[in-house]
Amino acid sequence: MVAAVLENRPDKAAKPKIAGDDARLRQKQKLRETIRAEADHVIATRGLAALKARQLAQAAGCALGALYLAFQDLDEIVLEVNAVTLRGIDAACAQASAARPDQRVMAIAEAYLTYAARNRLRWEALFAHQMEAPPSWYARLLDSVLSQFDAPLQEMRPHMEARENEQLARMIFAAVHGMVALGLHETAGPPAAMHGQIRTVVAAILDGLRGWPPEVPW
């Protein structure tokens, strides 16, 4: 009887340990958020090259060792900031609307340019930061951005295989991205002129699609 009571008695000594673990997890999460916010500010205002671990730890009010306890390395911090940028691009392109699918392709292209021009340093950090194998969650975010043209192209070309349309969508995205990259580096004119240039090139691509295949009536 006594043994049974002792066996079923709540373990009071375990509670402080659990509470302590929870407190440490909350503290670590709070520090991660602080570091992420400071890194976001640096990248958005001064660019990726200005992001240094020691200065970042100082701005976040923690020791350098604490920064590396919160994050594995500086790459992980940059990925967290770049993820915010990818979600911003994804949302901006998703909000681009128009009545016809070809008009939506044009609206998405211009939305991408607008976001990049308004958030140039953030946008540049996406491509300045290189990793051999980004984590799967980050790859999914990137794929979501790259697939923005998929739906309108599928609507424009309903008789074509989805895989072929996906490949074409990524080619159009690559063309738009290339024009944006050139324009923002001042080799193709200021952002205001770039809208006209992008409209011209995307319109030419769409004109080509209107004639291929000829039996698609859109």
How many domains does the structure of the chain reveal?
A: 2
Residue 4 lies in a domain: no
Sequence letter at residue 44: A
Cβ-proximal residues to 111 (8 Å cutoff; 6+ apart), any chain: 92, 93, 95, 96
Q: Are residues 19 and 87 in the same domain?
A: no
Q: What domain range includes position 173?
A: 79-218
Structure tokens at 188: 């193709």
pLDDT tens digits along 64-115:
999 999 999 999 999 999 999 999 999 999 999 888 999 999 999 999 999 9
pLDDT tens digits along 132-152:
888 999 999 999 999 999 999
CA atoms within 13 A on the CB side of 80: 18
- The continuous run of DSSP H or E covering 84 comes out as helix 74-94
Residue 1 lies in a domain: no
Residue 3 lies in a domain: no
CATH number of the domain residue 37 falls in: 1.10.10
7 falls in which pLDDT band (50, 70, 90)?
A: very low
Q: Are residues 103 and 205 in the same domain?
A: yes
Average pLDDT over residues 162-182: 92
Residue 7 lies in a domain: no
CATH number of the domain residue 108 falls in: 1.10.357.10
Residue 143 lies in a domain: yes
Q: Are residues 42 and 111 in the same domain?
A: no
Report the pLDDT value the prediction gives residue 4, as an integer from 0 to 100: 46
Q: Are residues 99 and 126 in the same domain?
A: yes
Q: Are residues 112 and 90 in the same domain?
A: yes
Q: Are residues 124 and 196 in the same domain?
A: yes
Q: Are residues 177 and 113 in the same domain?
A: yes
63 falls in which pLDDT band (50, 70, 90)?
A: very high
Residue 5 lies in a domain: no
Domain boundary among 24, 42, 71: 71
Q: Are residues 33 and 119 in the same domain?
A: no
